[in-house]
Amino acid sequence: MAIFSKKNQDTFTDAQDFTVLPEHIGIIMDGNGRWAKKRGLPRTAGHKAGAEVFKSISKECDRLGIKYATFYAFSTENWKRPQSEVDALMALFKNYLLEAKADVKAAGKIKLKFIGERKGISNDLLKLMDEAEEETKDHTGTTVYLAINYGGRQEITSAVNKLISSGKKEITEQDISDNIFTVPECDLIIRPSGEQRLSNFLLWQSAYSEFWYSDVLWPDFTNDDLHEALRAFENRNRRFGA
Ligand code: FPP
């Protein structure tokens, strides 16, 4: 039985409180800019607050025993944002990876992986990403996929191109599944901030995803919000088209 206390405080919700948990959740971390604007702060302050929430929610996924969690951190379209905002986001990714490196235990048993196009990302960030994957590869907790420079259409297009260059004449669904980033099928997609769009996130892997939306802006998203999404998922009747 889950005992919910006030927002942002400990909730005594455990994996056993759910009859079923999603294996893989995808989270679109949206609303940082609006959160900052409401406070008269620069957008980058919203991203900074959002990065803290990413850290706490990824740890909560691990504590609950969720197998995979994919966080949409930077899309292929986000390069169009002002350079100062792009730089601030890249700096946040680097800081997080440096922090995780300095104190691997701080990230718990989380296994870090990255999806997205490497081209365009600076060499120093790529190096930190590679090191983080290597250093956490034996971790047994949640696999956290950080989607950086990621776009679902780009992912599928590049899989098709790989198959064409390999000489394939006819492409099957399995071929595409085998050639996109190795992220499992997504069970639940969570999008805070009131928007109800997929925004080019996990297009292939979300074919049978359940969706959960909330008006909460990402920097205000708490463990309780995650539990609410999981509670909603538990009550969905998934038929996979049958
Ligand atoms: C979309 O909200 C959010 C992003 C483009 C960036 C998401 C990145 C983070 C939360 C930082 C993650 C940090 C680490 C360490 C992984 P928006 O800025 O478009 O918000 P708005 O729609 O309110 O303007």
> Tell me: the pLDDT tens digits for 115-172?
999 999 999 999 999 999 999 999 999 999 999 999 999 999 999 999 999 999 999 9
Report CA(22)–ligand 1 centroid distance (Å): 24
If you take atom 8 of ligand 1, which residue's CA is the nearest one? Answer: 73
Among 235, 214, 202, 228, smallest CA distance to 24 is for 202
pLDDT band at 112 (very low <50, low <70, confident <90, very high): very high
- Other Cβ atoms within 10 Å of 127 Cβ, number: 12
> Tell me: the pLDDT tens digits for 219-237?
999 999 999 999 999 988 7
Active-site residue, selected from the candidate residues 30, 220, 224, 225: 30
Residue 101 clears pLDDT 90, i.e. is over it: no
31 within ligand 1 shell (Cβ under 6 A): yes
161 catalytic? Reply is: no
200 catalytic? Reply is: no
pLDDT band at 3 (very low <50, low <70, confident <90, very high): very low
Strand order in the sheet with 68-75: 111-115, 143-150, 68-75, 24-28, 188-191, 210-213
Residue 10 clears pLDDT 60, i.e. is over it: no
